[in-house]
A and B are shown apart, each in its own frame.
Chain A
Amino acid sequence: MAATERRTSAPARSFKRARVSRPPAHWEQTSIGDRPDVPLLKHWQKAAAQTPSFAKYKVEPEVPEFSDEQYEEHLKDPNWTLEETRYLIETYKGCNGKWTVIIDRYEKPERTMEDLKARFYAISAVMLQLETPIQSMTAPQYKMYETLKDFNPKQEMSRKRLAEGHLHRKKDEVDEEAVLLAELQRIMANQESLDSLREDLRKRLDYPKANTNSYQYSTSQALHALWQQLVNADRLRKNQRLRPVGPGQSATSIEGSTSGQTPASARPRESNAGTTQHEPSPASNTKLTEKDKRRFGITEVGPGEKLPSGVSFASDKLSKPRIAKSTVQTEKIAAVLSHIGVPDLIPLPTPPVIEAFESLMGKLHTLLDMRKVAEKEEQELRVREAEAGAQVKEE
């Protein structure tokens, strides 16, 4: 019984649902937005639905408007005429306020984008102020006014110059940055494990934390903070540089170009060195300007000279001369050096530093030799005097 009842009621229900869920649609012609002259749109339209309006897509940019009298009174500028000012406003309107396009379409000659911006912002500021006096401005309005007034074309120009220079950075420099970032990343990865080990150890030892910092990035925390800061800054950029960088390609040219005395910061570590088997790009290891050579500390070997075999570190040149054959002599050298204010450890053994140090050491050795001679003479003199004294006594 129940089955038959269900069967009879089912079609009735579905019929009802069909009628409710599909409101009738009709073929309709509508005009587009506020353009009655363009052909009509033809489409099926549901009875209840509203025709979409395209008028909202017609957005005009806001521009300052002024009369000729207002121009005479407030907006005069010796570099600008009324016509050109009006032309600027028109162009701004035509380009929807996009300065890249405006400077491209601006046909009156000899204006930089900064000139145009400065003029436009100045006019906007003046008109804003005329419309609402500063006293009665709302906060956002005043902020806008401030921004408009504070535009500094000179600063903007110098920023553009820097941006242009940045665009033409050389490959070496780009690579160096990549290498340094990779290095930092590697250090941080090691740091992480070291930190956890250290933390563990501290817990066991109940070690009190040191709070004094002599140097900004000397501790691991400070380094970590720097790393976090860099990573956060990087995350905002589209092409992230801080990622597991295969150091191969980027490290290549650095190694190729700085095989001599390398500053410690730019030298790839041993961990990277193994992967630098790539063909070095030809441009980077041949052409080095004087400036670059100075920067990387490269000295060229003359045709007659021979290099000592093997690897020597630049820092050796600063530490080895300090040690003489005898301990007494070494102590003397150390005393003289500390007296004239040369520290025990010189941080950056660049070629000029080494040169200066070597000349200093030369002088020092002369000094010590002189002293030796002087002492000898003095000694001899004393002996002679004693001999003379003895002779006098004998007589």
Chain B
Amino acid sequence: MATIPPTQAPGTAEYAGDEIGALVLDPGSHSTRAGFAGEDTPKSVVPTHYGVLPTGERLFGDNAIHLPKADLEIKNPYNSDGIVEDWETAAKLWEYTITSRLTGARQTPPSKNGLNDAKDENGDTNMDEGMEQLEEQEKPLQEFPLLMSEPAWNPAKERQKTIEIAMEEWGVPAFFLAKNGQLAAYSQSKATALVVDIGALNTSVTALWDGMVLQKSLQHTPLAGNWLNDQIRIMFANNQPPVPLVPHYMVKSKTPVDANAPSSATYVHFDKPPTDSFRKLEEERVLTSFKESVVQVWQGPGRLDSPASQGGVTNGDYVKSMPPKPFEMPDGWNTVFGLERFKVAEGLFDHNAAYTDDKTKKPSGEQTIISVVNKALQAVDVDARPVLLNNIILTGAGSLIDKLPERLQADIQAMYPNPRVRVLANSNSVERKYGAFVGGSVLASLGSFHQMWVSKEEYAEHGAQIVDKRCK
């Protein structure tokens, strides 16, 4: 596959695009994406957070988890490193993501539905035999080959667990596991690239050479979307006056008030207020909307506090002279943010600029996005570095902060002045958000990829270890 020049397009008949009907599942710690191969957006996007009722019943999906209910605990099957911890729930959640929107319940074939069986004298059919055969039938994904994505640092045990679930619980006929960064690069039709993927829990860097992941280059850092939310939270608390963080579900109605004036909203009265974890989830939604609409990264050159020109004027002073942006909280309280909306994101590039409080420690200098990129580059062969620098792909929903690609480009160029640095960030936000899904969708629908599937027979023969051998 690799020796065919990548520029040479296969013939139309060889695309075999929709012919295999594969499914693509791209699970993340914030949302889980699934869809059919060959489509440009995932049809099913489900939040990875789930609700647990006191009875132990698990609730999935946007509609279930955002409804305020007493005693509904919100949980997440991922640990802080972005690796699945609670396998039982994760498997259920992934299955829900696929079956709720994509496949639906299967029709029982006529030979098994009992209607055509010979009846005994009481008019009953022999069910025992039928039940046994039905066992086979009840697996949800028996018709669909499945391509899944995984974080680059996924341990071997977790990878084997993934193929076990897919093969044994879901009964898929063929399976493949690809790394997030790899797929994101494919979505931009690049086989050689340095992928910077800013997700919710982690920002990861993956170097890709001719379609193959360079293992030693894999790096990740917790400075990502959720960390940015924490920064905003601390900024709100330290602001003068402090910004009240009231989630939507608590507000019944609101009336407009002046900037910085106390809100005059009517609040919902709960007999028993929802749990803390529910409140946190809803607060995160407010923070996310603030992040998406107000926060901006200083576009470079230099850092926010570095001097812009002679005479002690810093970039920050320049930013102060720009018009500030207003933001209104769900309860009507509102104010404008000037320098603060830049400062919260500065920590991604300058660890000294990060906000801290007693729970959040200052990140180390090695955790900033730039030093992680540098570490990844140092781990690859020197001849490959200029090529990778020329093909840096920025992806992930966390990268959608305004001017972030420009800053990344400026900072990396400042670090390597000689080779040409090019940061490719798709201007279409959907493609950036679902980069790994789109790449997986492209890959799984290619005729030439079909050689690579791990089939059911191979799994039966070699066991779960085959995933380490085949999906490198």
Which residues of A pack against B, CB within 8 Å? 32-33, 35, 37-39, 41-43, 49, 52, 54-55, 57-59, 61, 94-96, 98-101, 103-105, 113, 160, 163-164, 166-171, 173-174, 238-239, 279-282
Contact = CB atoms under 8 A, between A and B. Distances in A.
A99 to B, nearest CB: 7
Contacts of A59: 1-4
Interface of B: 1-4, 11, 13-14, 16, 19-21, 143, 145, 173-174, 209-210, 212, 214-217, 301-302, 306-310, 380-386, 390, 414, 416-420, 447-448, 450-451, 453, 455-458, 472
Contacts of A49: 13
Given A52-B16, A54-B451, A95 B212 contact: yes
Contacts, number: 126
A104 B307 contact: no
Contacts of A239: 420
Given A54-B14, A54-B448, 8 more contacts: A32-B450, A35-B451, A37-B457, A57-B4, A61-B3, A100-B383, A239-B420, A282-B306
A98 B458 contact: no
Contacts of B143: 39
A70 B83 CA distance: 48
Contact of A38 (B2, B145, B210, B386): B145
B173 A38 contact: yes
B438 to A, nearest CB: 22
A104 B215 contact: yes
Nearest to A55: B451
Nearest to B174: A38
Contact of B308 (A33, A41, A279): A279
Given A41-B19, A52-B11, A52-B13, A96 B451 contact: no
Nearest to B145: A39
Given A37-B457, A39-B145, A39-B174, A99 B19 contact: no
Given A98-B209, A163-B383, A282-B307, A174 B417 contact: yes
A96 B209 contact: no
A280 B305 CA distance: 17
B306 A57 contact: no
Contacts of B301: 281
A168 B1 contact: no
Nearest to B415: A168
5 contacts: A39-B145, A61-B3, A100-B383, A166-B418, A167-B418
A163 B215 CA distance: 23
A108 to B, nearest CB: 14
A79 B458 CA distance: 38
A35 B453 contact: yes
Given A35-B455, A58-B1, A52 B447 contact: yes
